[in-house]
């Protein structure tokens, strides 16, 4: 059986971490949905930069847009928002068949707004209204301002993908913002059932940073390399289970609310010494999402070994965290650094993107 379809049998959705007009026009995304069970799409500024820079389907539209009285960001949105809408439409049957559990497309607010809660909220509301599809997720970074905007967007009935999470502290802050947003929505008399959220925990960059610190420590610390991100994901999943499958969530669940699912992001292995499926095979579990770049998706299809692995090794994950603390490695501090660096990379990609459409 196709390993990609096997993953779904264990309750995990696979989303494609890519979108372009080429994928849409050539029918490739439709085939991934129909044949491989791809259940969603994620995007970011770097993905759209590559799509427009390399894609043959954008040139004539961009030339025409340059004749219009709009700025570079307006041209960018005029190019990509129709693609997002088309992807939403491709996934809409799955969204409807699953009663809203699957079939989402994520669209990011400008990373330039990451430290402005009001502007992020306004951008999220505008993009949600512009796309006007029930299976859109507005992507918001897990900065302090972003977390505030998440609460307000959820409170306004907008579904959200919270991105750039790199630590358990981020996991907790984002989940609590989601719960507060649901309470806001309930108090306002809104419907909770249509609102969904995923919390995107970035993995490979965590190992890249922590491995360097372990190499500096040397000795037995070297044995801990390549294990931090998976340990973090397993501990995050335990927190998810405790938070959303406990009595504390029952009142919201009874009102129609859904848990905020964890999404594994940054799942392409960066260290060639590690398995190309390091952030896939050990993290298969119910009520989760793994968003995969094309190469990782192909690797999983080719030689993936599928089993329900996410809840195994939880004690070892806790022991790994304890060993890092004993070495003086603070994973929450590391998470803040990685978030700053990740946001800077998205800002650079967004700047380059606007240079393309200027």
Which residues, 6 or more positions from 227, have their beta carbon under 8 angstroms from its beta carbon?
Answer: 207, 320
Q: Where are the domains of the chain?
A: 3-357
Averaged pLDDT of the chain:
97
Q: Helices 28-36 and 294-303, interaxial angle, to 10°?
A: 30
pLDDT in the model for residue 184: 98
Joined tokens for residue 244: 């959303």
Instruction: Identify the active-site residue in 50, 139, 212, 270.
Output: 139
For residue 139, indicate whether it is catalytic.
yes
pLDDT in the model for residue 54: 87
Q: Is the pLDDT of residue 268 over 80?
A: yes
Pick the CATH number of 3-357 from 3.20.20.70, 3.30.470.20, 1.10.540.10, 3.40.640.10: 3.20.20.70
- pLDDT tens, residue by residue, 44-88: 999 999 999 987 899 999 999 999 999 999 999 999 999 999 999
pLDDT in the model for residue 111: 95
For the CA atoms of 166, 171, 172, 173, the dihedral, rounded to the nearest 10 degrees, stands at: 70
Instruction: Tell me which long-range contacts 218-224 makes (C-beta under 8 A, separation of at least 24).
Output: 221/327, 224/320, 224/323, 224/324
- pLDDT tens, residue by residue, 295-313: 999 999 999 999 999 999 9
């Amino acid at each position: 059986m196709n390993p990609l379809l096997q993953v779904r049998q264990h309750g995990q959705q696979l989303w494609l971490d890519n979108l372009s007009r080429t994928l849409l026009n050539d029918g490739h995304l439709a085939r991934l949905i129909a044949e491989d069970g791809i259940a969603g799409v994620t995007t970011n500024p770097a993905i759209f930069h590559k799509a427009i820079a390399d894609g043959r389907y954008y040139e004539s539209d961009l030339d025409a847009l340059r004749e219009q009285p709009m700025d570079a960001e307006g041209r960018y949105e005029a190019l990509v928002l129709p693609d997002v809408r088309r992807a939403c439409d491709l996934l809409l049957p799955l969204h409807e068949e699953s009663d809203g559990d699957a079939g989402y497309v994520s669209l990011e607010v400008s990373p330039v707004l990451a430290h402005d809660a009001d502007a992020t909220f306004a951008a999220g509301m505008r993009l949600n209204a512009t796309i006007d599809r029930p299976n859109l997720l507005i992507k918001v970074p897990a900065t302090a301002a972003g977390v505030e905007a998440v609460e307000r967007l959820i409170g306004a009935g907008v579904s959200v993908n919270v991105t750039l999470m790199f630590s358990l502290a981020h996991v907790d802050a984002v989940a609590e913002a989601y719960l507060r947003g649901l309470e806001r929505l309930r108090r306002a008399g809104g419907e909770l059932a249509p609102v969904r959220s995923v919390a995107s925990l970035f993995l490979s960059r965590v190992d890249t940073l922590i491995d360097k610190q372990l190499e500096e420590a040397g000795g037995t610390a070297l044995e801990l390399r390549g294990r931090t991100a998976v340990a973090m994901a397993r501990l995050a999943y335990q927190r998810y289970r405790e938070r959303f499958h406990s009595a504390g969530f029952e009142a919201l669940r009874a009102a129609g609310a859904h848990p905020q699912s964890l999404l594994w992001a940054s799942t392409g292995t960066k260290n060639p010494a590690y398995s190309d499926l390091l952030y896939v095979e050990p993290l298969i579990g119910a009520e989760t999402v793994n968003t995969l770049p094309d190469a990782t998706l192909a690797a999983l299809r080719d030689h993936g070994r599928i089993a329900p692995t996410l809840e195994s090794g939880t004690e070892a994950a806790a022991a790994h965290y304890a060993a890092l603390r004993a070495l003086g490695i603070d994973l929450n501090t590391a998470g803040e650094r990685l978030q700053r660096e990740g946001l800077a990379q998205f800002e650079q990609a967004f700047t380059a993107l606007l240079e393309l459409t200027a």
